[in-house]
Structure 1
């Protein structure tokens, strides 16, 4: 596997039997994001060719437009089949294509899906979106959901006194986790929480994550006089995140656009009841009032009323939380996802062996 370098991480590593090579695009400084991505892809191509010379490989798998150029180049250089995973589309994220940078990203997405032998998406919603946005035939698309490491989540022990860092013993803890951007809906959570405090003052809201909306949200909390009831944690490490989820009473994750919803799975895996939106991946993950609750997108009133029902009924909330964890264990473990992905690789390689590769140059 070839990935981006991380501070303090070795350039070559092995994790759970997977050989990892890391490249450092940061040595090429650029004020242009697109130029930086191209530098990153050049580094990946160079490293991939070294790996091929040393040990060879049969198939190339890249993720999204960020690594698409490298995958396409290696496909033609080595005549190896290309598999592409599309996690989200630029048109979906932005509600359309509105400027030159977005058009470049959109074009790279299309080229990656065109060049791919198969395109993997993480939900049926994304299967339909990629087909519609990029004109990909549906028989070229394969839906494999994302997974999470439940064993690691279970291994995290909440330290004594951890909950006291965020809330009083009398306060019930509501949590939002995600990037603080419009599509994730943190503003909806804050607006709903403001009204919930009028119903029950013994509540606390944890906003876990960072992003361009953070300052605005903090200003709103001060303006509304609820700043002492809202805790903005910023980004946290995995151990802290899973500990927060384990001590919380309710998660509200009302995305406006969500191709899958990995944070929903993480909350469900910890045995936490989740309120989410009837959009994209969450609409497929959650069975309403069985392993979570779904509200209409952009509907603050529905978030408020649903929260009141769940916070007023411990038995219902705990039953939903138990069902949520069972759903994750049944459908979303990495072992299951790995088996599906391996089968895709096997099918692609079998088709590739029986195909004639025609070169245009």
Structure 2
């Protein structure tokens, strides 16, 4: 018997995207759903594409999960989204918008399969985990409310505005649809979903701010990312002395800022005060090689390409700093992963990363134009190099915070408290303090 079964909550989890073998949103969906199985009697409803991965993970179809076959609509829409986005790994707003068109059909099939049980009161609560995007309206919210069963939505996240001064990066990412993304607020069904949801979990303060004021009392800020402590078993050395080692982890695309990390670090790289590991791959890789060669810092910067998770951890755990000036990061899971390893993050103070780091656990560099961000980051790195003794305490504080608030087990406990407040019709717990600005 699982630990949560004696606690009495019976929950239907909707996780259209949930897959232990993938990354990004599907991995978030899977990780949270799996963790919630430890605090309640949970049945997961997912899309058919995830079925085999669920079975390989040891879940039993029919008892633990149900796979909904919406491929008749989902598959052609995904192919259309791939064509419209005009490139691999770019045009995410277009991909999300087009694939979301088929989500209503998925939920129609979910209601066909589970509507009778929901109306019969066989579930205490229905919770939609994924999609994370707030643009995917749910017809289940009003249906559940009419059935007298609370419906919880989220974590919702996405759509962080492109910062001023980065329009060239926006165009290179082929984010044409992002210019008119705000029209989703006028789409049919959004008002009913927000009205009839019993609680709305928001993965970012930006997303929370997009919820109309009359629904704010039923919102909770709770970042969607977390870590599995079993996968982060190393701790980085923090001697508090020079030379320093930094790392960057992410796709090599302009908005992630690997080139800005290198440019900002150039004086320290040339002085031998810092070496830098770049972990990841993408269309910017050749540009980075040219930048490193042109600036003559090949001995101080290593491009590792894509690495398996265990290798990423091994390389990152040699570093004292995560140098990550990404300018449009919804969640910032890599920041939590670095903190779990005792690596101190140095991030652009914008969107997800800026909400995960405070002055005790890392460094937030003010957002500005590209030139301003590089200059501010350079100044910050030089200040750290002048006083590396501040790093050990910050590393310990970051590691402690992640292990307290940002493991999947902690996330499940946070969500369970929200569930219990909803069922008791009590005020929602604000699980984490909003980061000071």
The TM tier, using the shorter chain, reads: 0.7 to 0.9
Please name the residue that 1:321 is paired with. Answer: 395
Q: After superposition, give the CA deviation of every residue in 1:142-181 in whole Å (9 maximum; x if it has no partner).
A: 11234523522344699xxxx9xxxxxx975310123334
- Name which of 137, 141, 162 aligns with 2:219: 141
- Name which of 244, 249, 261 aligns with 2:332: 261
Is 1:50 the counterpart of 2:113 in the alignment?
yes
Task: Give yes or no for contact 2:163–2:327 (8 Å, CA) kept in 1.
Answer: no
Task: Give yes or no for contact 1:11–1:22 (8 Å, CA) kept in 2.
Answer: no
Q: Aligned in 2, Cα 1:106/1:16: closer, same or farther, shift over 3 Å?
A: farther
Shift in Å, 1:107: 0.6
Is 1:38 the counterpart of 2:101 in the alignment?
yes
Correspondences of 1:168-247 after superposition (within 5 Å): 172-200=244-272, 203-227=274-298, 229-247=300-318
Query: How many corresponding residue pairs?
Result: 336
RMSD over aligned Cα atoms: 4.1
Shift in Å, 1:276: 1.8
Task: Give yes or no for contact 2:160–2:206 (8 Å, CA) kept in 1.
Answer: no
Report the more deviating stretch, 245-254 or 177-186.
177-186
What CA distance in whole angstroms lies between the structure 2 residues aligned with 1:233 and 1:23?
39
- Name which of 300, 304, 308 aligns with 2:374: 300
- Name which of 147, 153, 164 aligns with 2:231: 153
Task: Give yes or no for contact 1:84–1:112 (8 Å, CA) kept in 2.
Answer: no
Shift in Å, 1:317: 1.9
Please name the residue that 2:140 is paired with. Answer: 74
Please name the residue that 2:200 is paired with. Answer: 119
What CA distance in whole angstroms lies between the structure 2 residues aligned with 1:214 and 1:135?
44
What CA distance in whole angstroms lies between the structure 2 residues aligned with 1:35 and 1:319?
46
Q: Aligned in 2, Cα 1:136/1:54: closer, same or farther, shift over 3 Å?
A: closer
What CA distance in whole angstroms lies between the structure 2 residues aligned with 1:105 and 1:212?
28
What CA distance in whole angstroms lies between the structure 2 residues aligned with 1:276 and 1:152?
25
Shift in Å, 1:268: 1.1
Task: Give yes or no for contact 1:3–1:20 (8 Å, CA) kept in 2.
Answer: no
Task: Give yes or no for contact 1:23–1:44 (8 Å, CA) kept in 2.
Answer: no
Task: Give yes or no for contact 1:125–1:259 (8 Å, CA) kept in 2.
Answer: no
Task: Give yes or no for contact 2:142–2:192 (8 Å, CA) kept in 1.
Answer: no
Q: Secondary structure at the match of 2:322?
A: strand
- Name which of 137, 148, 159 aligns with 1:90: 159
Q: Aligned in 2, Cα 1:47/1:94: closer, same or farther, shift over 3 Å?
A: farther
- Name which of 19, 31, 54 aligns with 2:64: 19
Task: Give yes or no for contact 2:265–2:381 (8 Å, CA) kept in 1.
Answer: no
What CA distance in whole angstroms lies between the structure 1 residues aligned with 2:325 and 2:313?
19
Q: Aligned in 2, Cα 1:265/1:313: closer, same or farther, shift over 3 Å?
A: same
Q: Secondary structure at the match of 1:206?
A: strand
Please name the residue that 1:358 is paired with. Answer: none
Q: Secondary structure at the match of 2:79?
A: coil
Shift in Å, 1:270: 0.8
Shift in Å, 1:115: 0.9
Q: Aligned in 2, Cα 1:343/1:124: closer, same or farther, shift over 3 Å?
A: same
Q: Aligned in 2, Cα 1:148/1:90: closer, same or farther, shift over 3 Å?
A: closer
Shift in Å, 1:228: 5.2
Please name the residue that 1:10 is paired with. Answer: 52
Report the more deviating stretch, 148-157 or 117-126.
148-157
**TM-score w.r.t. length of structure 1:** 0.73
Q: Aligned in 2, Cα 1:50/1:236: closer, same or farther, shift over 3 Å?
A: farther
Shift in Å, 1:306: 2.6
Correspondences of 1:277-296 after superposition (within 5 Å): 277-288=348-359, 290-296=360-366
Task: Give yes or no for contact 1:89–1:106 (8 Å, CA) kept in 2.
Answer: no
Q: Secondary structure at the match of 2:101?
A: helix
Task: Give yes or no for contact 1:192–1:303 (8 Å, CA) kept in 2.
Answer: yes
Please name the residue that 2:10 is paired with. Answer: none
Task: Give yes or no for contact 1:60–1:75 (8 Å, CA) kept in 2.
Answer: no
